């Protein structure tokens, strides 16, 4: 590359009148450097294209291999699907039997529910009667307690009056004595 640079510099020096030899040297260096960069870029570009072509070939090979494997997997899935269809038919029969069992159980539960509702209604009637008797008993007890409370109040008043009278008489007796 230095040889090319020297040749260009000497040819330009002879072809044109040079006012600044250092400027000419820089110009030739830049020019040869750009040639060198272009050559390197061209070489790298061609290497890159070759690598891309090799990569494309590998990718095509990989895709073909994957397609082959996917076809094999698809065939296995189809076989499994057929087995699942047979299992589905068996489950449909079981579902029918299960639905029939549920229907029979619903009928039985309806009968039990009806009987339970009747029992609850009867219990409600019995509890209402018991509740009436309990309410009547409470009312009678309230009446008795009211009577006892009146007697106690009267007795308390008489006792209090008696003590007050005795205390007054004692005070009078001590005052008079």
Give the start-to-end residue ranges of the domains of the chain: 2-176
**How many Cα atoms sit within 13 Å of 105 on the Cβ side?**
6
First to last CA, the chain: 159
Q: What pTM value is reported for the model?
A: 0.30
**Sites in the chain below the pLDDT cut of 70:** 1, 4, 8-9, 11-15
Distances (CA, A) of 116 to 112, 125, 131, 137: 6, 14, 22, 31
pLDDT score, position 37 = 78
pLDDT score, position 150 = 94
pLDDT score, position 34 = 79
pLDDT score, position 33 = 78
Overall size of the chain counted in residues: 177
Q: Among all chains, which residue has been given the structure tokens 């094999």?
A: 72
Question: What single DSSP character describes residue 120?
Answer: H
For the segment 20-48, what is each residue's pLDDT rounded down to a tens digit?
Answer: 778 777 777 877 777 777 888 888 888 88
pLDDT score, position 4 = 66
Question: Exposure string (b/e) for 111-140, b if CB count within 10 Å is 16 or more?
Answer: eeeeeeeeeeeeeeeeeeeeeeeeeeeeee
Closest CA to 4 of 26, 47, 42, 35: 35
For the segment 142-161, what is each residue's pLDDT rounded down to a tens digit?
Answer: 999 999 999 999 999 999 99
Distances (CA, A) of 58 to 62, 67, 122, 135, 141: 6, 14, 87, 98, 105
Distances (CA, A) of 60 to 48, 49, 72, 81: 18, 16, 19, 31
């Amino acid at each position: 590359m230095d040889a090319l640079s020297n040749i260009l510099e000497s040819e330009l020096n002879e072809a044109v009148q040079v006012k600044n030899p250092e400027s000419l040297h820089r110009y030739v260096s830049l020019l040869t450097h750009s040639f060198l960069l272009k050559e390197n870029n061209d070489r790298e570009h061609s290497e890159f294209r070759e690598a891309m072509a090799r990569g494309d070939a590998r990718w095509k090979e990989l895709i073909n291999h994957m397609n082959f494997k996917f076809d094999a997997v698809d065939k296995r899935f189809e076989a499994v699907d057929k087995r699942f269809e047979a299992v589905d038919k068996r489950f449909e029969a079981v579902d029918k039997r299960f639905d029939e069992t549920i229907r029979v159980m619903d009928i039985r539960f309806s009968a039990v529910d009806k009987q339970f509702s009747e029992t609850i209604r009867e219990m409600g009637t019995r509890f209402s009667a018991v509740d009436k008797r309990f309410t009547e008993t409470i009312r009678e007890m309230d009446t008795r307690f009211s009577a006892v409370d009146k007697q106690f109040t009267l007795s308390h008043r008489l006792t209090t009056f008696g003590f007050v009278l005795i205390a007054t008489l004692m005070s009078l007796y001590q005052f008079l004595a």
